[in-house]
Structure 1
Amino acid sequence: SERLWDEAMAMARTIAGMRPEGVALTLSHLDHNMDMSRDQALRWAKLSGKWLGVTSNLAEAGRDLMGRKKQEP
């Protein structure tokens, strides 16, 4: 339907605006953790950022997110 298309394109634009390394990390994690125990999946999540060279700064990401929320109507 047209609504589904519009929502899919909105999601695609959101993902396209993200850091490619972070998207790759998320996809890798989702792909690999489906058959893992909870503890294995948590360990994988902790290590996979290092393996893929992705770093995160949660404080900075939170400030960025809150800034964007204030700008949205």
Structure 2
Amino acid sequence: MAQKKEIDAYRMAVLKVMMEAKKENGEPRFDEEEAKITLDILSDADIEFGMPFNTPQETAEMLMED
């Protein structure tokens, strides 16, 4: 079972990837508030379940799918 600090660190890594994502025109895909709202779809339990199977990059990509 992952500790809260590990889940928080993973969540921050996913948020970082989302904040760095760009649209085709080079503009940021999300502002910080939008990225946090999107990431908040996942509960800590969801993140803990997926951590062994998905990198933060993979989790961010799943959340950013149109």
TM-score for both structures, normalised by structure 2: 0.30
Q: Which has the larger radius of gyration?
A: 1
Asked which structure has the greater RCO (Cα within 8 Å, sep 6+), the reply is: 2
What is the TM-score when the length of structure 1 is the normalising length?
0.29
Q: Which has the higher helix share?
A: 1
